[in-house]
Amino acid sequence: MNAPISTIAPAKDDVAILAAWGRRSVACAIYATLPFSDCPKVEYTPEEQAQLDVMDAAEILICDATATSPQGAAIQLWTALAHMEQDRDAEAAINIMDLDWFLTDETRFDWDVRLILAALRSLRAMGGAA
């Protein structure tokens, strides 16, 4: 059972974190629709680079901000997780913050990922949108 989500209005930094996550999520979704190749990348296509630029800018903002709510902190943890787990299934779960996907068999992950999952699970229990 999920804990209720806090109804307290987020502080200014959290509003920026939420907006940046939204931009990052859209860019990730667009990037995922682009042709995929298993070959090593030398250069990104202009279409890929445009989405990567959006993701980078959003992630810089998410990193530089100080979260003041469980939801803001959860987004920062999801962003960290995105840099640790990069297979397509994990990326899709991260993009929609699907904690349950990760928790179905969390022992398959290394400790760094499992610790982030534990923090997300704790934030969810506190009423954050993890």
For 48-73, write each residue's pLDDT tens digit: 999 999 999 999 999 999 999 999 99
Question: Does the pLDDT of residue 4 top 50, yes or no?
Answer: no
pLDDT at 13: 75
Whether 88 shows a pLDDT value over 90: the answer reads no
- pTM, two decimals, is 0.85
What does pLDDT average to over the chain?
A: 89
For 120, counting Cβ atoms within 10 Å of its Cβ (0-12 exposed, 13-18 middle, 19+ buried), the class is: buried
Retrieve residue 37's tokens.
């190749």
Break the chain into its structural domains and give their ranges.
12-34+43-126
Residue 1 pLDDT class (50, 70, 90 cuts):
very low
